[in-house]
Amino acid sequence: MDLIRTFNNAQPIIGVVHLLPLPTAPRWGGSLKAVIDRAEQEAVALAAGGADAILIENFFDAPFPKEAADPAVISAMTTVVQHLQTLVALPLGINVLRNDARSALAIAACTGASFIRVNVLSGVMATDQGLIEGQAHQLLRYRRELGADVKILADVLVKHARPIGTPNLTVAVQDTIERGLADAVILSGWATGSPPNVEDLELAKSAAGETPVLVGSGADCNNVAGLLAVADGVIVASSLKRRGRRENPIDPNRVRQLVDAARSGRSRVAELPATLRPSAPVSHTP
């Protein structure tokens, strides 16, 4: 996957717009306009703060179905995407929680969005929604059927879940890429807002080869430079919210602080003698 071509940056910072509850969600407030207004506010904040792309997800629809979301949710998300495209020129992505990758791909294909996030592309994960099985077979054929140039960013050992069987990060990364045909893989911590450890990132990078590895949670202005010394990009939400509280809207000042911290870290690495720069991870055996 060419990150520069997709995100105009070799190490993109992808900010997340957490949509307010959508129609049929338990906490749906009854006003789609309120959902759109909040999404527009957050998208503009991300663009103004210097983010490279925006991921749109129905975060506040919990509890989620494990597979197909309600058609009203898909319709609402499509409407939101169309509104955001009139305000920001950044690449947009879709994540339909918990794992409705087919609908995410359909929204992206019809709106011209650039990428989707898939929580479980390969394997089987035990989650609070029950057992979720990856459906790479159906998704990759659907993408071809639609003729869509939409990139698939797939989680490996996704947060808020446990793998069925003995977890092995190297095998999981390789299967997601080689057998699931993911365009990039995402590594997160255990839960929303928690980062992966550097050792796991290095292991994932070694296993992924030329395929990009993105951090899927836990990036903030204090650790983003360290994460990007290993990873190929970050997906970030919670630390960008006002006062760092996930229920609050995005603060453009926090976005700018994180972007500046990431750029500063890249500059420091570039200025180091070649022998002192972070090296490619050493291969690990499963």
What angle is formed at CA 208 by the lines to CA 128 and CA 51, rounded to 5 degrees? 70
Question: Region 165-193: what's the mean pLDDT?
Answer: 88
In a domain? residue 195 = no
Question: Region 26-43: what's the mean pLDDT?
Answer: 98
Question: Region 158-166: what's the mean pLDDT?
Answer: 75
In a domain? residue 220 = no
- pTM attached to this predicted model: 0.90
In a domain? residue 198 = no
Determine phi and psi for 187, rounding to 5 degrees.
-120, 125
pLDDT score at 282? 37
Asked if residues 247 and 27 have their Cβ atoms less than 8 Å apart, the reply is no
Q: What CATH number corresponds to the domain at position 91?
A: 3.20.20
Give the relative orientation of helices 136-146 and 101-111 as an angle to the nearest 10 degrees.
Answer: 20
In a domain? residue 33 = yes
pLDDT score at 266? 64
Domain with 133, as residue range(s), is: 8-151+231-272
**Which tens digit of pLDDT belongs to each residue from 104-147?**
999 999 999 999 999 999 988 888 888 989 999 999 999 999 99
In a domain? residue 79 = yes
Question: Region 219-224: what's the mean pLDDT?
Answer: 96
The one-letter amino acid code at 192 reads T
What is the domain count for the chain? 1
In a domain? residue 71 = yes
In a domain? residue 45 = yes
In a domain? residue 235 = yes
Residue with tokens 């035990």: 126
pLDDT score at 191? 67
Question: Region 31-46: what's the mean pLDDT?
Answer: 98
**Which tens digit of pLDDT belongs to each residue from 234-272?**
999 999 999 989 899 999 999 999 999 999 866 554 444
